[in-house]
């Protein structure tokens, strides 16, 4: 945008101001990230120094400690199984439903949409108590499967919502053409619509994975010690080790690296997927 | 789309696709609607885990009205939601406008600024807890250094505890706002801007008369998602203050967790959560309405 009528001086001041604001914001958003990375590599003693030190002599000790002295691998594996399970189940349930929703008109369409939106409005705590009772009665309380089931309640609805927006933005003509060539509706969906919705699929999958990976409350209320996830493991460690920031940070790095890497790597899809699904 | 003749034909041809809606419907009936109905049912009972349930009618709801702890937590939740979501929206808008150009540096910032959003919330809570530590925390140290009176520490003082957890929520979710708004900005049509430029409109006029109205659907969706999620805030507060000092940061979700999971008063917890659900539904309906209104206009 052209800044008509401003003198060079004003322009310069504006530019400086803008740069300063951006720098402050970057510090605000990045400092906790830098802190956890450097703390995970810091000597324990460095934590007690004032002024606080962001950078000190790095060591791998924290990582070797948490992997040898704590069941971090088990926690990671539990987190991974639960997140992948949620991702797969959410896609299986949510994607076809989102497609049908964008292609068929039927009575009760609005109602279904509202019910599905309600899952997002539902306070997590509301569902946890009765869910515990249900899980207990079918005998899966404390298993990873129970967590997958509850994570999927929140996620399938989100996948459905996102995907119906994406499919809406894909013209129907291509599937029509495929049908004229003799495809069944299901073939048209699998062979034409699904490949075209790749950014949305990636976004949905990523969200399901992240959501489940980051979940704390459901895991807290539904797992047993054997099936505990990383966030739960972290919390138990933090409590025991009082000032054990370095171990906590190392474990935090283990907990955030997969999701951060994945999301940075898939950012292109993720961003375009968000707009498609969000706005329509 | 629904009203013309081709629409009718399309509907008939696609009827078989209705089967695709069966799994999600069954799933949500069983794992979503059933828990909600169970919650409503059990909220009329005095039910503690391990003992016989006793029907008490609206007793739990009456008790709630006199439960100053829960009422207080509802107010805390409202303050939290409004403050956090408004801050995220305003800050998100400012940052999106700042970053809305194709300079490589800005693209780089855009990439890394997204990191807080994918941070595991519990990890975020624990990291901020360390940064806020009353003696050794980095933020505490430098705030004191620049001469701010923060008492015994931001999270320890009653006056600043709620603010300090709101700040963490702002840190975690503003980037999402930024990304959604940026994407929305990119999809805006060019013509109104050219016309406004020709008319000699100022930057502020352009922003309030063109950008903001055009962004409305994007903003409504972002606000909807953030409001519903903020109503459910748990991890960050659990990790940083545990609801304290006193009850200054005890949001509704935390209180319900205490009642249900620690005191094991299931019936009462269900009543409390149903009230919270009503707030969520009101917020949801409000936003969806304004979304449709925006669409029809």
Nearest CA-CA partner of B28 in A211, A93, A78: A93
CB < 8 Å from A in window 185-224 of B: 186-187, 197, 203, 206, 217-218, 221-222
B247 touching A, CB under 8 A?
Answer: no
Q: Lowest-pLDDT range, A223-227, A273-277, B161-165, B202-206?
A: A273-277
pLDDT tens for each residue of A234-266? 887 766 555 678 888 999 999 999 999 988 888
Q: Lowest-pLDDT range, A33-47, A250-264, B7-21, B26-40?
A: B7-21
Q: Lowest-pLDDT range, A144-148, B73-77, B186-190, B252-256?
A: B186-190
pLDDT band at A280 (very low <50, low <70, confident <90, very high): very low
Stretch A258-276: mean pLDDT = 76
Q: List residues bridging with B54 in a β-sheet.
A: B46
- Where do the H-state alpha helices sit in A170-266? 173-180, 185-188, 194-196, 198-214, 217-222, 230-240, 245-265
Q: What is the pLDDT of residue B7?
A: 44
pLDDT band at B3 (very low <50, low <70, confident <90, very high): very low
Tell me how many residue pairs between chain A and chain B have CB atoms under 8 A apart.
285
B288: chain A residues, CB-CB within 8 Å: 114, 117
pLDDT band at A15 (very low <50, low <70, confident <90, very high): confident
The predicted complex's ipTM stands at: 0.86
- Where do the H-state alpha helices sit in chain A? 8-40, 61-69, 72-103, 109-121, 124-137, 144-169, 173-180, 185-188, 194-196, 198-214, 217-222, 230-240, 245-265, 267-279
B63 touching A, CB under 8 A?
Answer: no
Per-residue tokens: A128? 């946890």
pLDDT tens for each residue of A141-174? 899 999 999 999 888 988 998 888 888 888 888 8
Distance (Å, whole) CA B255 – CA B268: 11
pLDDT at B83 over 90: yes
A105: chain B residues, CB-CB within 8 Å: 2, 7, 10-11
Q: What is the pLDDT of residue B264?
A: 86
Phi, psi of A74 (to 5 degrees): -60, -45
A63 touching B, CB under 8 A?
Answer: no
pLDDT at A126 over 80: no
pLDDT at B296 over 70: no
Which pTM value belongs to this model? 0.87
Cross-chain residue pair A54–B138, CB shorter than 8 Å: yes
Confirm if B191 and B170 have CB atoms less than 8 A apart: no
Average pLDDT, chain A: 85
Q: What is the pLDDT of residue B214?
A: 87
B39 touching A, CB under 8 A?
Answer: yes
pLDDT tens for each residue of B214-263? 888 888 888 888 898 898 898 899 889 988 898 999 999 999 989 988 88
Q: Which residues of A71-95 are buried (b: 16+ CB within 10 A; e: fewer)?
A: ebebbbebbbbbbbbbbebbbbbbb
Q: What is the pLDDT of residue B251?
A: 94
Q: Smallest CA–CA separation between B32 and chain A, in Å?
A: 7
Stretch A91-101: mean pLDDT = 93
Q: Tokens 């054997």 — which residue?
A: A226
């Amino acid at each position: 945008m052209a800044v008509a009528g401003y003198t060079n001086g004003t322009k310069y001041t504006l530019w400086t101001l803008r740069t300063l604001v951006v720098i402050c914001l970057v510090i605000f958003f990045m400092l906790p990230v830098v802190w956890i990375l450097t703390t995970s590599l810091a000597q324990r003693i460095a934590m007690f120094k004032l002024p606080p030190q962001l950078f000190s002599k790095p060591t791998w000790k924290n990582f070797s400690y948490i992997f040898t002295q704590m069941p971090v691998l088990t926690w990671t594996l539990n987190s991974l199984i639960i997140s992948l399970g949620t991702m797969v189940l959410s896609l299986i349930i949510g994607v076809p439903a989102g497609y049908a929703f964008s292609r068929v008109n039927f009575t009760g369409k609005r109602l279904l949409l509202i019910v599905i939106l309600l899952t997002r409005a539902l306070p997590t705590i509301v569902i946890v108590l009765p869910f515990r009772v249900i899980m207990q009665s079918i005998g899966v309380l404390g298993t990873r499967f129970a967590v997958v089931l509850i994570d999927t309640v929140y996620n399938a609805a989100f996948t459905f919502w996102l995907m119906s927006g994406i499919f809406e933005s894909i013209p129907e003509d291509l599937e029509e053409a495929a049908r004229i060539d003799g495809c069944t509706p299901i073939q048209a969906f699998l062979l034409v619509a699904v490949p075209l919705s790749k950014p949305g699929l990636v976004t949905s999958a990523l969200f399901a994975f992240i959501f489940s990976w980051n979940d704390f409350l459901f895991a807290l209320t539904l797992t047993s010690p054997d099936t505990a996830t990383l966030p739960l493991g972290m919390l138990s460690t933090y409590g025991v080790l009082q000032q054990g920031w370095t171990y906590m940070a190392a474990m935090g790095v283990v907990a955030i690296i997969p999701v951060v890497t994945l999301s940075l790597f898939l950012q292109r899809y993720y961003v375009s997927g968000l707009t498609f699904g969000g706005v329509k | 789309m629904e009203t013309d003749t081709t629409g009718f034909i399309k509907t008939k041809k696609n009827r078989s696709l209705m089967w695709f809606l069966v799994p999600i419907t069954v799933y949500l009936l069983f794992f979503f609607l059933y828990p909600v109905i169970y919650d409503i049912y059990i909220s009329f009972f005095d039910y503690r885990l391990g003992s016989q349930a006793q029907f008490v009618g609206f007793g739990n709801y009456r008790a709630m009205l006199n439960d100053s702890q829960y009422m207080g937590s509802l107010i805390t939740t409202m303050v939290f939601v409004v403050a956090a979501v408004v801050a995220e929206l305003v800050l998100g808008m400012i940052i999106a406008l700042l970053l809305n150009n194709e300079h490589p540096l800005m693209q780089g910032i855009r990439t890394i600024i997204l990191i807080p959003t994918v941070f595991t919330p519990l990890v975020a809570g624990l990291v901020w807890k360390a940064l806020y530590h009353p003696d050794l925390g980095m933020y505490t140290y430098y705030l004191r250094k620049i001469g701010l009176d923060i008492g015994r520490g931001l999270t320890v003082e009653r006056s600043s505890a709620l603010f300090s957890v709101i700040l963490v929520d702002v840190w975690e979710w503003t980037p999402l706002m930024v990304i959604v708004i940026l994407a929305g900005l990119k999809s805006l049509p060019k013509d109104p801007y050219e016309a406004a430029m020709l008319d000699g409109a100022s930057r502020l006029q352009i922003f309030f008369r063109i950008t903001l109205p055009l962004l409305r659907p994007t903003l409504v969706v972002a606000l909807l998602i953030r409001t519903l999620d903020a109503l459910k805030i748990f991890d960050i507060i659990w990790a940083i203050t545990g609801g304290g000092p006193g009850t200054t940061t005890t949001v509704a979700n935390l209180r319900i967790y205490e009642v249900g999971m620690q005191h094991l008063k299931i019936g009462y917890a269900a009543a409390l959560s149903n009230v919270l659900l009503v707030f969520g539904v009101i917020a949801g309906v409000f936003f969806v309405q304004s979304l449709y209104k925006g669409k029809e206009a």
